[in-house]
């Protein structure tokens, strides 16, 4: 159903990567390529380790030992030495997280400090101090989509931090801090290319380039990840291909094709890409972060209720501008303007048992597309005041405007809201245009949702506050 969207995303990705590669080749001609030298943390003393600078706990740069919270810092050197290939690898190796990997539309659930929720919603995931949890359901999508080569360090805070980061910082924070070219000497550039290949037709490529021109610095990264994922159909009975391919359960849906394969067998492919970049001029920094993640349903649903060869899509786009300014000798200000766009949706192939006497072996079937579109604008102003060598005051305020989807946009699905066809349309069985029966000889896929969410299915919110 989402084949056209998927193909468009793939074409766009190829264009962006081609432009990005050309940019890198031009940079290599202008600058000399340097090997970045990292300080070996294994040669540091305990005292030196505790003096590592962090910013997450209080919003100020301070030594780890003075931070008012339990923290772990993972550096780029440790990421390289431990062989992590994704952010999910890092989190699975950290203490204080209970990890569940259904390998489905949520690749993993990370339960911090043992607190279990249906999704990873009580931990903030930040990229350079900017919240990257989904705007609509607040899930932290920790999968294989995030670049790894551009990470300077990862700060993990354990415990609530609501005074500074709001009520959603309930269990802790994961803050991924990326490189910006400042670690290079003036006039230097560095370009790195990473390739990954493995079982289940897994492939990934990542390219990272950064440069330091003095007053101007830049960093840019691209990553593509693709995998067929393991076939788990023989591991548990509820994922059996006998159920996925049962004609009594699925009827004409078994004639449909998705991801180049017909429905009716276990197939759980993953495709993702990410583009990140920033440019800094003196104290002014602007940048972007874009990722796209498409995953199958994996082990999340039994094979007599949902086909896992249906792609669930999540994407995020952030554009930001920030300025650090020294107002006086003792007063510093940080200003942030951030735009965020979050989408979630995709295909869902469903079989709902027919409860009528004598029809219990059959099902009401549907193959529908779900959609939710959301965006926000955030303005934040922080002010740091040095009182003396031992005391500081951090104060600030924020304003955030959000445009959120009220309810799923699902044309033809059991009377749900629909932007493209009447939601009251009865369909062949009075349950919706897209609800058929496994005894039918054919199935008609309902229309896609509209490209823009109708105003009647939107809600607008204003969020403002301050702290001291």
- Over residues 336-347, the pLDDT tens digits come to 999 999 999 999
Place of tokens 């000497």: 185
pLDDT at 219 over 70: yes
Indicate if the pLDDT at residue 232 is higher than 60.
Answer: yes
User: Does pLDDT of 22 surpass 70?
Assistant: no
pLDDT at 20 over 50: no
Question: What's the pLDDT at 48?
Answer: 60
**Sorting pLDDT into bands at 50, 70 and 90, what band is 168?**
confident
**pLDDT greater than 50 at residue 25:** no
Tell me the mean pLDDT in the region 250-276. Answer: 96
Higher per-residue confidence, 391 vs 351 = 351
Give the percent of the chain with pLDDT over 70: 85
Q: 131 pLDDT exceeds 50?
A: yes
User: What's the pLDDT at 24?
Assistant: 44
Question: Which residues 6+ apart lie within 8 Å of 314 measured at CB?
Answer: 134, 141, 292, 293, 342, 343, 344
- Read off the pLDDT band of 5 (50, 70, 90): very low
pLDDT at 57: 62
Q: What is the mean pLDDT of the chain?
A: 88
At residue 65, does pLDDT exceed 80?
no
DSSP string, 285-352: EEEEEEEEEEE--TTSS-TTTB-S-S-EEEEEEEEEEEEEEE-SSSEEEEEEEEEEEEEEEEEEEEEE
Looking at per-residue pLDDT, the higher value among 15 and 118 belongs to: 118
pLDDT given at position 340: 98
pLDDT higher than 60, residue 251: yes
Residue 31 has pLDDT above 60, yes or no: no
Looking at residue 466, its pLDDT comes to: 84
* Confidence at 318, pLDDT banded by 50, 70, 90: very high
User: Residue 190: which residues within 8 A CB-CB, separation 6 or more?
Assistant: 33, 34, 35, 36, 184, 209, 210, 211
Please state, in angstroms and rounded to a whole number, the distance separating the CA atoms of residues 93 and 95. 7
Above 80 in pLDDT, residue 457? Answer: yes
Q: Give the model's confidence band at 394: pLDDT under 50 very low, under 70 low, under 90 confident, else very high.
A: confident
Q: How many residues does the chain have?
A: 468
Q: Which parts of 119-269 are beta strand (E)?
A: 123-127, 130-131, 151-158, 172-178, 188-198, 202-212, 216-227, 257-258, 261-262
**What is the tens place of the pLDDT at every residue in 39-54?**
455 566 655 666 676 6
Q: What is the rounded distance in angstroms from the CA atom of residue 170 to the CA atom of residue 177? A: 21
Residue of 309, 291, 293 whose CA lies nearest to 301: 309
| pLDDT category of residue 2 using cuts at 50, 70 and 90 | very low
Q: Which is more confident, 306 or 160?
A: 306
- Residue 197 pLDDT > 60, yes or no? yes
pLDDT in tens, 265-312: 999 999 999 999 999 999 999 999 999 999 999 999 999 999 999 999
What's the CA gap between 175 and 323, in Å, rounded? 19
pLDDT at 44: 63
pLDDT score, position 60: 61
pLDDT at 301: 94
pLDDT (tens digit, 9 = 90+) per residue, 431-450? 999 999 999 999 999 999 99
The pLDDT score that the predictor gives to residue 18 is 53
d(CA 207, CA 205): 7
The encoded tokens of residue 209 equal: 């380039």
Question: At 221, phi and psi to the nearest 5?
Answer: -140, 145
Say how far apart CA 159 and CA 71 lie, in whole Å.
9
Q: Say if residue 11's pLDDT is above 90.
A: no
409, 413, 419, 425: CA torsion to nearest 10? -160
In the chain, pLDDT over 90 holds for what percent of residues? 72
pLDDT of 214 higher than 60: yes
**pLDDT tops 70 at residue 400:** yes
The token pair that represents 228 in the structure block:
């067929």
- Encode pLDDT of 82-129 as tens digits: 999 999 999 999 999 999 999 989 999 999 988 888 889 999 999 999
Q: What is the pLDDT of residue 393?
A: 87
Q: Which H or E element spans position 385?
A: strand 363-386
Q: What is the mean pLDDT of residues 9-16?
A: 50
CA distance 88 to 116: 18
CB atoms within 10 A of CB 448: 17
In terms of C-beta distances under 8 Å and separation of at least 24 residues, what long-range contacts does 92-101 make, across chains too?
Answer: 94/156, 96/158, 96/172
pLDDT exceeds cutoff 70 at 182: yes
- Identify whether the C-beta of residue 412 lies closer than 8 Å to the C-beta of residue 424: no
For the residues 187-203, what does the mean pLDDT come to? 96
Model pLDDT, residue 126: 96
């Amino acid at each position: 159903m989402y084949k056209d969207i998927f193909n468009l995303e793939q074409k766009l990705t190829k264009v962006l990567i081609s432009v990005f590669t050309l940019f890198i080749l031009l940079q290599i001609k202008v600058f000399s390529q340097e090997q970045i030298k990292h300080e070996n943390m294994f040669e540091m003393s305990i005292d030196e380790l505790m003096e590592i600078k962090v910013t997450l706990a209080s919003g100020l740069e301070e030594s780890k030992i003075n931070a008012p919270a339990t923290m772990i810092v993972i550096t780029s050197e440790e990421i390289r030495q431990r062989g992590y290939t994704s952010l999910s690898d890092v989190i699975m190796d950290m203490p204080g997280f209970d990890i569940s990997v259904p390998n489905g539309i949520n690749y993993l659930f990370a339960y911090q400090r043992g607190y279990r929720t249906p999704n990873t919603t009580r931990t903030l995931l930040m990229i350079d101090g900017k919240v990257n949890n989904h705007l609509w359901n607040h899930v932290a999508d920790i999968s294989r989509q995030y670049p790894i080569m551009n990470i300077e360090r990862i700060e993990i805070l354990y415990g609530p931090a609501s005074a500074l980061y709001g009520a959603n910082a309930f269990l802790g924070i994961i803050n991924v801090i990326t490189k910006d070219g400042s670690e290079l000497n003036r006039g230097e550039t560095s370009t790195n290319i990473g390739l990954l290949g493995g079982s289940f037709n897994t492939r990934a490529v990542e390219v990272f380039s950064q440069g330091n021109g003095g007053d101007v610095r830049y960093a840019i990264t691209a990553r593509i990840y693709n995998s067929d994922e393991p076939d788990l159909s023989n591991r548990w009975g509820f994922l059996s291909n006998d159920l996925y391919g049962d004609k009594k359960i699925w009827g004409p849906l078994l004639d449909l094709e998705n991801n180049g394969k017909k429905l009716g067998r276990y197939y759980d492919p993953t495709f993702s890409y990410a583009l990140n970049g920033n440019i800094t001029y003196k104290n002014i920094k602007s940048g972007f972060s874009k990722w796209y993640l498409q995953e199958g349903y994996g082990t999340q649903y039994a094979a007599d209720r949902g086909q896992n060869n249906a792609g669930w899509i999540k994407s995020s786009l952030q554009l930001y501008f920030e300025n650090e300014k020294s107002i006086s000798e003792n007063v510093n200000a940080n200003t942030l303007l951030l735009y965020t766009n979050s989408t979630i949706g995709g295909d869902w192939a469903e079989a709902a048992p027919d409860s009528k006497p004598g029809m219990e072996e059959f099902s009401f079937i549907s193959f529908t597309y779900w959609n939710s579109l959301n965006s926000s604008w955030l303005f934040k102003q922080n002010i740091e005041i040095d009182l003396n060598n031992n005391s500081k005051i951090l104060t600030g305020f924020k304003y955030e405007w959000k445009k959120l989807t009220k309810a799923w946009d699902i044309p033809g699905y059991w009377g749900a809201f629909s932007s493209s066809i009447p939601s009251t349309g009865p369909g062949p069985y009075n349950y919706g245009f897209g609800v058929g029966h496994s005894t039918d000889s054919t199935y008609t896929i309902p229309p896609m949702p509209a490209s823009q969410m109708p105003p009647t299915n939107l809600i607008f919110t204003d969020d403002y506050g301050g702290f001291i």
